[in-house]
Amino acid sequence: MLFVTAILPMAGALVLLEAGVVDDPAAMLGMALALGLGLLAPVSRVCASIVVLGDLRTLNRFCSEIRQGRYGTRLSVGLEGDDEHEMLRLKRNMNWMAHHIHAQTRSLRARLDESDLRTRFYEEMSYRDPLTGLHNRRYFERFLADLLRGPSRGRGVFLALVDCDRFKRVNDTRGHQAGDDVLACLGEVIRESVRESTDVGFRFGGDEFGVVFRDIDHADCLRACDRIRYRFAASNGYGCTVSIGLGAWTADMGSEVPALVRACDACLYRAKDLGGDHVVSARSAAPAPADGVSPPPC
């Protein structure tokens, strides 16, 4: 820059003076000084662009990459030396900064993922009955309401209410552990007797259970209820049976859950009045028999 703005104009003025082109040395020196001052601004910009602005553009591109989440971007700095200029040190420090941001971001994402998993786990646990592993009443009310309001509008939806016969006798004579064994057995029978990911079993509390059947006809639904009844009677080991009231969603019920539950309750009371170990359906004129050949498994 000094060569272009000072030495070169002065050298030109001396050459012109020696050649006799200009007779007035003071005027020639003034012109050389004016030319040097005029070249100072453009030459300074060129030098700044070469020395500083190129590095600043590189730093701006680097910061833009970091802002867009590409934390693996690094500036080329080479091996660290003892005598480095400030721009190189700045680049090296920015590389460390990007590395630190990347590490902190990965750690934060891992913690957020863990927190999401923990939240989903506790939410799932809040909808589960711990003894049987079935869904609880809280989930039942939300699930059935959503199902009846959904696009299918309750088409092919049945609700079976299941009540354990003679459970109180077992609880009183054999103890609460025996009662828990009976309930756990009934929960397992329900899970194994219905279609996975389609039908949903629930425990409402005490010895009251339920199953929501979807996309099924009445005959298949009755067979599934009989399967629960036969399997539980054969496996609980305490002589307990179940009474089942089966109700179907109808258009006049709308999306109201209590209407469907009331229809099932009426059938369940009828099964209880018959002495238990019966399946009574709102669509059947007579209850399913309490004895006979067990239906084939799914």
pLDDT digit string, tens, across residues 44-59: 777 777 777 778 888 8
Superfamily of 135-281 according to CATH:
Reverse transcriptase/Diguanylate cyclase domain (3.30.70.270)
Spans in the chain with pLDDT lower than 70:
1-6, 13, 17, 20-24, 27-28, 36, 150-155, 254, 284-298
Note the pTM of the prediction, 2 decimals.
0.60
pLDDT at 286: 43
Q: List, by residue number, the catalytic residues.
A: 207
Domains of the chain, by residue range, sit at: 2-100, 135-281
pLDDT at 20: 65
**Rounded mean pLDDT of the chain?**
82
pLDDT digit string, tens, across residues 101-120: 888 888 999 998 888 888 78
Tokens of 18: 């020696």
pLDDT at 294: 40
pLDDT at 293: 38
